[in-house]
Structure 1
Amino acid sequence: MKCNLLVGSRHKTLLTILFFVISLSLVQAQTTTVTGNVTGEGQALPGVSILVKGTATGTVTDFDGNFEIKTDSKSVLIFTYIGYLAEEVPVNGKSTMNVIMQPDVAALDEVVVVGYGTQKRKEVTGAVGQVKNEALVLSATADLGTALQGQVAGVNVQASDGAPGSESNITIRGISSILGSSSPLYVVDGIPFNGDPKLSMNEIETIDVLKDAASAAIYGTRGAGGVILITTKKGKEGIMKMNFDTYYGIQMITSGVPLLETEDFLYVKHLSGAVLNGTTFGNTWTPIVQGPHQLTNNTNLTDIIENDFAPIQNHSVGISGGKEGLTYSVNATIFDQEGTIINSGYNRFNVRANTQYKKGKWSVNTGMGFGIEQHEFAPWQFLLDAYRYNPYSQMLDPDVETIQHPGPDNVDAQNLSNNLVKFKQRDNRNTENFNANITANYKIDKNLTYTIRGGLSYNNNTRIKINPLFKTYDEDGELIPSNNRSGVRNESGRSQRSTIENILNYKRRFGRHNIQVTAAYSAEKYENAWFFAEKKDLVNNDITVLNGALNDPVVGSGTNFSQNVSRGTLGLLGRIQYNYKGKYLVSASARRDGSSRFSKKYRYNTFPSLSVGWNVSDENFWKFLKPTVSLFKLRASHGTVGNDNFLDYSNAAVIVNNRDYIFGPEEDDRLVQGAIQEAFANENIKWETSVSDNIGFDLGFFSNKLNVSADFYNTKKEDLLLGVILPPSVGVGTGNNSNVILNVGDMVNKGMEWTVNYKQAGTFSWNAGLTFTKNVNEITKMSGSNKIQYLDNSEVVQGVPNEDLVSVLAEGYEAGSFFLIKTDGIIDTQEKLDAYNPLVGGNANLGDLRYVDALTVDTDGDGVPDAGDGIIDLNDRQYAGSGSPEFEMGFNFGANYKDFDISMQWYASFGAEVMNGSKAYSYKAGTHRDLLYQWSPQNTTSAIPTNRGRDHENFRGYTDFWLEDGTFARLRNIAIGYSLPKDMLEKNGISKVRLYVSAQNPITITKYTGFDPEVGNNSLATRGLDRGNYPISSSFRFGVQLAF
């Protein structure tokens, strides 16, 4: 019996083993190798990602679109490719399959951030532009504006200069304020920032730009200059992914001002002297005979000021991943740029972490960023000092502590000393910034969601400026007195911005009707404090603290009113978005804002907007055109925004101490210190407002391969704040201080924007994009007799105070226009001299510039000036253009072939004028190479005036002799890359290795003769003024991108 049981047991064991063997065989039989080909629009698609659904098993198609993959016979394969709809294909036991992918004609359904929410692009009714990360990272820069240039129609970006760490000036659809800021509002993940948020390009996922008032009105007063919405990278569910991007490059200055060498410089001196004395000259050069030692040197200071092959590098790492309900993303970047001018540089470290948590009805998003910046600034007007440095002077050694001048000219010795001091000056700023935000969403029911969002940004910076101690001795070893005192200055500043918002969002579908209602309450507070202290006369250069200096201590704070500046805004907003069947679109919003910058009388204001859209291509009557014109949408909007972004306490009275008065009887008068009122209080200052109308259309052709968008706008700026100059009898201040700030100005911006994009998939895939922007600005109203105001700090070269200003505010012209005395060639004949001399009191000579007597007198009574007044003076200044371009264009191109890729970005600016101050400065110093060809009795056809000294009228800065065409086209970026084959990498757990070389600004096409025609500077007064600005450099890089 036991035996039988044992046998039975063995049989059961054998049967069990046999069952498992058969089962394994069946499983093995169900695993199959699937081969096939993937095409789209009749072409093979290389690089299509193929994944076995629910697993990590995958592959990609080869160059001919072929693939091979092992999988279960009952599995599902997922095919994905950029520009095409994802396809899920069941295997169903097949060993071969050919897949035809369909173009993603719903590309316009991608999500666009519109402020307090998102919309499908197809449903957007305002003027909104978008730039993705792939386009931003092409630029070797830490500046967001530089990366945006030419990418979005209607967004004007001009470099302030080429210094490391400098910020570009960004304006959206023209200047939005005159006394206030025209900069856009930056919003990062829903939180407003005070200025550029200083993010690394690798942290950013997308940038959406709200251009029209209807789109920006949701941000009320903060959106007066347009809105830049930045969405940072977020994690996605799945295994952890790591990306690493690094590059190293060199930079150089590729242009310059042509300067004279010593022999030519001495020739020019002799030539100028001969002309001034009315004599001719031969081959005997008096300066050489009298001072042969001057030929010892041939110095050009730019040789040691410019830092050729300055390194630039960037290293970035990103980690992301997560599981259901919790995702994360962390990005860190180190950017380091050495300046192409010595004693300048910039480096920055950024790290940012984002998390998204979802559970039940709750979702919580958090973001936290931290950055450290170190900024070294080149000495002020460093290049201009090089232009005026005599080439026969000795070359400077920046490492010496003292210098002994070999000749008797102590003036030249002082020049040596002043220049050497600049080589040793130090100006360093360290900045720490921190920002954090949290957004919590609670789904009350399926239609209603409550959101609370809070944000905090904090900035702390310190700056130290050292003017070193330097001694110069004459040939006898005696100390030469210096007018350049050593000293140290410390500055410290901090700012903090906090935001809290409560938002209710209701979204519901009623049959074919879709409605979304948003209501929100917003509160912001901004605080800023600044302090400085300085002392003169350092004990020695090794002690650079305040106590290391001996004399003249000075301290100061940020304003005349408070050590701490504090302001706040409150806002209530509502928005309704409605569409019927996705065809008929309406969006209406209203925001009521309050700002502490105004008195109680004008503290609050309301800003409404309305926009509509019509997707014509969704109508039945459009069906026959659909294969060709796949999208046609019309848009129109009207909106109002306010602006309070002007100087704090502009409405307050200003009383300043330490002003001198003369008191006492005539025989015993003396100076007594007192106080003076420099500005009146004005509680009637109110909001500047912008009322904007926009119409536009969007077209898509051939399944949206080709897309065209256009917008036409007209924006009226009303109640602009301007300074109204008061008569001296009022007794308030002097000069430019004798004014009161009033809402007395109006201005108009109108223009058009075009965007064209095309993409072609296939074996050779490529895409191209074109942007066109034209904006016309005009000041349409100024106060009373103040129809023209010359802007402070707008001299081209140093001259007579308040006489050499060239930038103006003038009714009927664009803000920041140039008003110059026009020139009409050279006085090259006695007849011209005799006719011209009565206009200038008989002070002209042959070889001088001939100024034009402007038409200022109405001789026939028709109200139009038709004759000059017979006197050449400052009243003869006329409109001569401006530093703003007439129109701009951007062109982007990218292509992929097998494992190779190429991309390029062009930017062009047309019609801007540039005042070539670098040329003017070197003319005045007598060092410009043009002076070899100046007018003389032997060179009567020259267009270059005779050099009669730096203070002569020939070289004054207020004439159009220095005005040049600033039109240019620039290849901003070009990159060529190679990606290692994916099938080779995946065996080692690597998903991407890309090697690339790139160049930034390698080509600039322009007629401008200065360093660079892109002269943005930082204000209306200096736009288009080249005053020895830090030049924009070219850079060349090699980089590696890795993904795991």
Structure 2
Amino acid sequence: MTKNFTLLIICLLCGISVAIAQNINIKGEVKDHQGLPLPGVSVKVDGTSNGVMTNKDGIYTLSAPGNGTLTFSFIGYKTISEAINNRTNINTTLADSNQELNEVVVIGYGSQKKKDITSAISTISVKDVSARPIINTSEVLAGKAPGVQVFNASGAPGGGNFSVRIRGASSPNGSEPIYVVDGVVVRNTESIDPNNIESISVLKDASAAGIYGSLGATNGVVLITTKKGTAGQTKVEVNMYAGKQQIIKKLDMLNADQYKDLINDEYTNKGQNVPAFPANFTANNNWQDLTYRSANQSGINVGVSGGTDKGTFYLGLGRLQQDGIVYGTNFKRYSTNLSLEQKLKPWLSVGTNVAYNRTDGRTVNDNQSANRGGTILGALYAPPILPIFNSNGKYQANTDNVSNPLDDIYSNENHYVKNNLLGNAHAEITLPFNIKYRSQLGISLNNYNNDTFTNPLTNQGASQVNGIGTNTANETFRYTWDNTLTYSTVINGKHNITAVVGTSAIEEKYTSSYLYGTGFPAGIKTLNAASANKQISTFKTDWTSNSYFGRINYGYDDKYLLTASLRADGSSRAGINNQWGYFPAVSGAWRISNEDFLKDNTVIKDLKLRAGYGEVGNLPQTLYNSYSSLDPSAYLFGGNSASGYRPANPFGNPDLKWESTKGLNIGFDLSVLNDRVSFSADYYDKKTTNFIFPVTFPTAISGNANTGYYNLPGNISNKGIEFSVTGRILAKTDFSWTANLNASFNKNSVNGMPQLVDSKGNNVDQTFPFGGIGFGGNGNNTNLSIVKNGLPLGAFYGYQYTGVDPANGNALYRKADGTITAKPEAADQTYLGSGLPKGVYGFTNSFNYKSLSLDILIDAVTGNKVYNATRVETESMSSTANASAAVLDRWRKPGDITDIPGAFFGGINAAGTTNTLPSSRFVENGSFVRLKSITLSYRIKNSLFDKQGIQLTVYATAQNLWTITKYKGYYPEVNTFSSSSQQDGKLGAPSSTAVGIDYGTYPQTKTYTAGLNLSF
């Protein structure tokens, strides 16, 4: 009986299944909003690959389950779904979506439809990269927007220090844009997990960025909107991934036999006896193989969102663990993001966004010479014959003050912890007469703690008084309070007006402390164990600003658009005589496609001309510039030393004002073939004046050399063009292909800076040196870049290398008069190139076939140079350090023809000079074309998944898979001075004046990752 009952149930289920699966023939017609037939519309049975396209008359026929759903989609029209409900005839009309044009773009203190934008603004949706893991914000921006160069300066775990440069370098005080996250101006993007970003708007020209005045909009503005909840059922999204990182390439170095031959040449060429190596120096180690590894990374991000028409929520949680390709290095990030929006009354809405993350990591010294503990250079510098361990099982120390790289990695400590909090609370009140009042209070808190310990048993630790311990701690707290009134109205159906007025107040407090000590017992790493040279220093700053701003947007008949804004800024960071500045901006557009003579054009969907002009500023990076400080010390009086006080750094300047950038932008936007192809292009011309520069006063004035900050005459010019073209190349039922190409070309130059008068009464341009590298172990800086009239900002400057003297192996250089010498003078130095690219490109392709997707991003830069300072060390042939395999072609005997000089111990050649002067010998082509990322994803479809609303996608992605370049170093995307906050310790040179210098920077990686996205 039980068996029969079971059999009956099975038969009934099968019958139901057959009935449900029974297909019916459906016929229908698809029309547009004007009642005209639409050919080529995709008609698909939802959840299956079954689909057809309408014919030239808009007619379709297909077979589908009676209980299924049909989806109608066509480029330029809204996608709709129709339940079949056993109908055999289903006709439908598709509405013109103007989806891209009606997209809402976030702008300063508000939003605007994309079609009404009058300035140069690029938008990026994180949906474009959602199929792969995002480690830092640079991966969202890279290659996506014309005029925006994004580069990671190093491959350190956690993404290293990435930089964003919008339309060239505009200031010697850093060229990073300002970042605004959910309306809060922040110092950087460390406070947010990039996986919680919804969209990014980049304000590129002064007319768009003018609403932010002097906050740093000289370099553009990046507006970041984080994910928010939406009304409806609670939705959960999970992204899990794991992968491997590898060094992109290793450099060819000498093996043991080649190394011994080099050392023999060094001493022989100097007429000295070749020293004997220690008896246990018999290894043949490849220190790069011992230093670098294949490193793991894994992560998980969970997002939960939902809500009702009264309130919504979003909660994001994330964890990232990334080992570095250098042994012993790692990075961890724990993050959370909470967004709440609540409509308390029909006229009152409140909300909050809170983001917190904690990162901790262990790193090694890079961007330093091997003599001073630089691990990256140490892996190149260490002799191959150096054994890993000595007879006592300890790391073998080297005899030439070059550390054993593994000793540096495992015996020393460099650990940091960062806690970042970003939050805002806002309220919006709807007032009569179409006015909205919004008040938002935002805070950002960045806390940093770094402990380092240099073991007394390492070469570096022993040479620095038996070990070194340091602790650096700092905290930055900033609050912002913004209040705005927004008025919107439409008059007679043709006059669209939106106006906003507001105030903004900012206060930032910064505190730091630094502890230092030496003399550590072996095995003890805490600072309280230091027995000598104990030092404590503390530092505090506080600055405020108050701002008033307004903007009006006017549109007439959806044809003529005008935007005008004005901001007044007062800041304590400027000199007391110039604390207020005013920043106007205006832009307009003409939508030609809405004119009567183009309305019936079937090719042009949208055509808009744009033009804008604006002024923005950049506040001084240093504080308390108005005031001079005094030191209790001796000073000069009448040529004699007298007791009392003397001026100390910095020298006060009450007239210091912000840098000012005035920019012109002219562009157009074009969409054709029913939005199948869209194109935009812009020309820009911007000049930065009043740029802030350190000026050193003669000893006779102050009693010692003092530096003050002044606005110098002259300007930094950036002129260029940029364009972006997007094409929906194929749009079939089962296959689609969309591509985007963007490119920008920029010319940067410095003009009008102060000149000197030479002995003949002629005006000559000054050179202001930056980019100091402390080669070797003496710590003396060699300046590699300068600021000078007629050259790009941070131009490389040095001697023109012409080759090697066949008679004696000396390096030869061209003098200013064209003659050749082995002993050039300072006056013979010349321009050697620039680290700033002339062209930046991005090329994306997205292919979709049924459930399979392939996304490819290729980016490139051209016209830039890299100063390969690493080669200065690895090709110096002046010590017992190892050398590059390039020196196998060195000069060895009279008559040799080569471009590699001879080897001379101590670095002094037969002419009494060095063979490694800063010269064109080490300046290389930094252009590259790179497969930045490639992602293959597959959405797993299942009837059970569809019923439960589950979507599951698996993916595999590779980053930096291949790079085409002529650069000889690890990687052409490199910068020792890797961010606007990282400065040369001796010269204070920010990155914009020392771009493209490679001196032992943590190498870049290529990454392979697999993961899955799950939502339900």
Q: Look up the match of 1:747.
A: 716
- Report the CA distance between 1:197 and its aligned residue: 4.2
Cα distance in 1 for partners of 2:140, 2:644 equals 53
Using a 3 Å threshold, how does the CA distance of structure 1 residues 298 and 32 change in structure 2: closer, same or farther? closer
Cα distance in 1 for partners of 2:352, 2:27 equals 44
Q: Look up the match of 2:907.
A: 951
Aligned pair partner of 2:327 in 342, 350, 360:
342
The answer to whether 1:574 aligns with 2:550 is yes
- Report the CA distance between 1:703 and its aligned residue: 0.8
Larger radius of gyration: 1
Cα distance in 1 for partners of 2:736, 2:342 equals 38
The range that moved more, 360-369 or 580-589, is 360-369
3-state SS of 2:118 partner: coil
CA contact (8 A) 2:322 2:330 kept: yes
Cα distance in 2 for partners of 1:310, 1:1031 equals 13
- Report the CA distance between 1:445 and its aligned residue: 2.4
Given residue 425 of structure 1, which amino acid in structure 2 is its aligned partner? N
Cα distance in 2 for partners of 1:643, 1:38 equals 61
- Report the CA distance between 1:427 and its aligned residue: 1.1
Which digits, 9 at most, give the CA deviation of each residue in 1:646-700, with x for residues without a partner? 111233324456x78999xx9xx9x999866344211011121111100000011
- Report the CA distance between 1:114 and its aligned residue: 1.2
Aligned pair partner of 1:460 in 422, 426, 447:
447
Aligned pair partner of 1:538 in 520, 537, 541:
520
The answer to whether 1:788 aligns with 2:773 is no
Cα distance in 2 for partners of 1:430, 1:292 equals 42
Structure holding more helix per residue: 1
3-state SS of 1:795 partner: strand
3-state SS of 2:50 partner: coil
Given residue 160 of structure 1, which amino acid in structure 2 is its aligned partner? A
CA contact (8 A) 2:102 2:114 kept: yes
Cα distance in 1 for partners of 2:502, 2:598 equals 39
The runs of 5 or more residues in structure 1 that have no matched partner are 1-28, 50-58, 279-285, 473-479, 559-563, 830-845, 856-865
3-state SS of 2:399 partner: helix
Matches within 5 A, 1:348-747: 348-358=333-343, 359-380=345-366, 381-396=374-389, 402=394, 411-412=399-400, 415=402, 420-421=407-408, 423-445=410-432, 447-470=434-457, 482-483=463-464, 485-511=466-492, 512-541=494-523, 543-558=524-539, 564-624=540-600, 626-656=601-631, 677-734=648-705, 737-738=706-707, 740-747=709-716
The answer to whether 1:312 aligns with 2:290 is no
The answer to whether 1:1028 aligns with 2:1012 is no
- Report the CA distance between 1:948 and its aligned residue: 1.8
3-state SS of 2:616 partner: strand
- Report the CA distance between 1:335 and its aligned residue: 1.2
Q: Look up the match of 2:12.
A: none
Cα distance in 2 for partners of 1:1004, 1:1026 equals 17
Q: Look up the match of 1:892.
A: 844
Using a 3 Å threshold, how does the CA distance of structure 1 residues 1001 and 919 change in structure 2: closer, same or farther? same
3-state SS of 1:352 partner: strand
Cα distance in 2 for partners of 1:548, 1:800 equals 28
Q: Look up the match of 2:828.
A: 876
The range that moved more, 128-137 or 881-890, is 128-137
Cα distance in 2 for partners of 1:483, 1:401 equals 23
- Report the CA distance between 1:867 and its aligned residue: 8.3
Using a 3 Å threshold, how does the CA distance of structure 1 residues 265 and 704 change in structure 2: closer, same or farther? same
- Report the CA distance between 1:982 and its aligned residue: 4.6
Task: Report how many aligned residue pairs link the two structures.
Answer: 940
Aligned pair partner of 2:855 in 880, 885, 903:
903
Cα distance in 1 for partners of 2:274, 2:99 equals 78
Cα distance in 1 for partners of 2:770, 2:783 equals 7
Which digits, 9 at most, give the CA deviation of each residue in 1:549-607, with x for residues without a partner? 2222101123xxxxx21111111111111001111000111111111112332111111
Aligned pair partner of 1:199 in 184, 192, 198:
192
Q: Normalized against structure 1, the TM-score is what?
A: 0.84
Aligned pair partner of 1:242 in 212, 236, 244:
236
Using a 3 Å threshold, how does the CA distance of structure 1 residues 421 and 355 change in structure 2: closer, same or farther? closer
Which digits, 9 at most, give the CA deviation of each residue in 1:414-445, with x for residues without a partner? 54579724541111111112222122111112
Using a 3 Å threshold, how does the CA distance of structure 1 residues 68 and 963 change in structure 2: closer, same or farther? same
The answer to whether 1:823 aligns with 2:775 is no
Q: Look up the match of 2:815.
A: 853
Given residue 374 of structure 1, which amino acid in structure 2 is its aligned partner? D
Q: Look up the match of 1:761.
A: 731
CA contact (8 A) 2:125 2:200 kept: yes
Using a 3 Å threshold, how does the CA distance of structure 1 residues 118 and 481 change in structure 2: closer, same or farther? closer
- Report the CA distance between 1:142 and its aligned residue: 2.6
The answer to whether 1:1009 aligns with 2:968 is yes
- Report the CA distance between 1:497 and its aligned residue: 1.1
Q: Normalized against structure 2, the TM-score is what?
A: 0.86
The answer to whether 1:190 aligns with 2:183 is yes
The answer to whether 1:1041 aligns with 2:1013 is yes
Q: Look up the match of 2:286.
A: 300
CA contact (8 A) 2:389 2:395 kept: no
Cα distance in 1 for partners of 2:780, 2:475 equals 35
CA contact (8 A) 1:886 1:910 kept: yes
CA contact (8 A) 1:996 1:1039 kept: yes
Q: Look up the match of 1:8.
A: none
Given residue 637 of structure 1, which amino acid in structure 2 is its aligned partner? G
Cα distance in 2 for partners of 1:463, 1:1001 equals 30
Q: Look up the match of 1:116.
A: 109
Which digits, 9 at most, give the CA deviation of each residue in 1:608-640, with x for residues without a partner? 11100001011111135x322211110000101
Using a 3 Å threshold, how does the CA distance of structure 1 residues 936 and 330 change in structure 2: closer, same or farther? same
Given residue 952 of structure 2, which amino acid in structure 1 is its aligned partner? V
The range that moved more, 211-220 or 441-450, is 441-450
Cα distance in 2 for partners of 1:374, 1:471 equals 25
RMSD of equivalent CA atoms: 3.4
Aligned pair partner of 2:252 in 242, 255, 258:
258
Given residue 940 of structure 1, which amino acid in structure 2 is its aligned partner? D
The range that moved more, 868-877 or 113-122, is 868-877
The answer to whether 1:812 aligns with 2:790 is yes
Q: Look up the match of 1:281.
A: none
Using a 3 Å threshold, how does the CA distance of structure 1 residues 182 and 617 change in structure 2: closer, same or farther? same
Using a 3 Å threshold, how does the CA distance of structure 1 residues 304 and 503 change in structure 2: closer, same or farther? same
- Report the CA distance between 1:966 and its aligned residue: 0.6
Matches within 5 A, 1:318-337: 318-337=303-322
- Report the CA distance between 1:872 and its aligned residue: 2.2
Given residue 761 of structure 1, which amino acid in structure 2 is its aligned partner? A
Cα distance in 2 for partners of 1:342, 1:404 equals 18
- Report the CA distance between 1:787 and its aligned residue: 3.8
The range that moved more, 671-680 or 693-702, is 671-680
Cα distance in 1 for partners of 2:634, 2:288 equals 44
Aligned pair partner of 1:233 in 219, 227, 234:
227
Q: Look up the match of 2:3.
A: none
Using a 3 Å threshold, how does the CA distance of structure 1 residues 152 and 139 change in structure 2: closer, same or farther? farther
Cα distance in 2 for partners of 1:336, 1:466 equals 24
The runs of 5 or more residues in structure 2 that have no matched partner are 1-18, 31-37, 54-61, 367-373, 757-763, 980-990
Cα distance in 2 for partners of 1:252, 1:717 equals 41
Q: Look up the match of 1:841.
A: none
- Report the CA distance between 1:275 and its aligned residue: 4.9
Cα distance in 1 for partners of 2:452, 2:393 equals 18
